[in-house]
Amino acid sequence: MTLQSMNTRRAGSKPPKYHVLSVLVENRAGVLARVSSLFARRGYNIYSLAVAPTDDDQFSRITVVVDVESAPLEQIVKQLNKLINVIKISELDPKDSVERELMLVTVKAPATVRGQIIELIGVFDGKIIDVGHDELAISLDEHPERLDDLEALLRPYGIIDLQRTGRVALPKLERSPQPGLRSAG
């Protein structure tokens, strides 16, 4: 199931909900396996999982998108806090965070429609990363819903291959003016 299908509204139904968790962990062998097996043992449904080291090589950040119905937030946090290598857990509310996902897609692009596809990619600020005789490989780093939109628009042309990284997110930065600072103007 994609996040697109999670977020699609049907007449008379509420969209399924999900939690986006940012989990700071020690950057050690086996930590990701322990975190993911915790979710599996408890029957929590993971929609997306992304992990990478932070600016400090001692730590990694795991961004996990979890189905609300399969896993109450309080229960997830309690279980994660039991793991020795977990340093900090934050829920990232979509309206208070910046989210991105990377999509790589290969699409059929014969000469008769190649211009249309290139124009479509430009509208989304995507990049063509490889070119074949009758296909294009495209890269787009965007909010997950924008990726869903581009994917839907490319589907009629014929998607050959598609890979998405999963959601990564950070809290939005504070935007209120600080005391003592004046605007330059």
Together in a domain, 119 and 139: yes
Residue 160 domain-assigned (yes or no): yes
Supply the CATH number for residue 112's domain: 3.30.70.1150
Domain containing residue 165: 98-170
pLDDT of residue 128: 98
Q: Please identify, among 70, 91, 112, the residue that sits at the C-terminal boundary of a domain.
A: 91
Q: 44 and 111 share a domain?
A: no
State whether 157 and 136 are in the same domain.
yes
Q: Is the predicted pLDDT of residue 4 greater than 50, yes or no?
A: no
- Structural domain ending residue among the three candidates 71, 91, 111: 91
Token representation of residue 73: 């937030």
What CATH number did the domain enclosing 33 receive? Answer: 3.30.70.260
pLDDT at 18: 81
- Distance of alpha carbon 30 from alpha carbon 49, whole angstroms: 15
Residue 23's pLDDT is what?
A: 95
Per-residue pLDDT, 95: 84
Domain boundary among 53, 72, 91: 91
Strands 127-131 and 59-67: unpaired
Same-domain pairing of 76 and 20: yes
Please indicate, yes or no, whether residues 81 and 112 belong to a single structural domain of this protein. Answer: no
Q: Indicate the number of domains in the chain.
A: 2
83, part of any domain: yes
- Whether residue 44 lies inside any domain: the answer is yes
* Same domain membership, residue 158 and residue 104: yes
Q: Is residue 112 part of a domain?
A: yes
Q: Label the pairing between strands 97-108 and 159-164.
A: antiparallel
What per-residue confidence (pLDDT) applies to 68?
Answer: 77
119-165: per-residue pLDDT in tens? 999 999 999 999 999 999 999 999 999 999 999 999 999 999 999 99
Residues 23 and 75 in one domain: yes
Residues 6+ apart with CB under 8 A from 33: none
- Is the domain of 64 the same as that of 116? no
Please state the pTM of the whole predicted model.
0.74
- Per-residue pLDDT, averaged over 15-32, amounts to 86
pLDDT, residue 184, reads: 57
Are 46 and 111 in the same domain? no
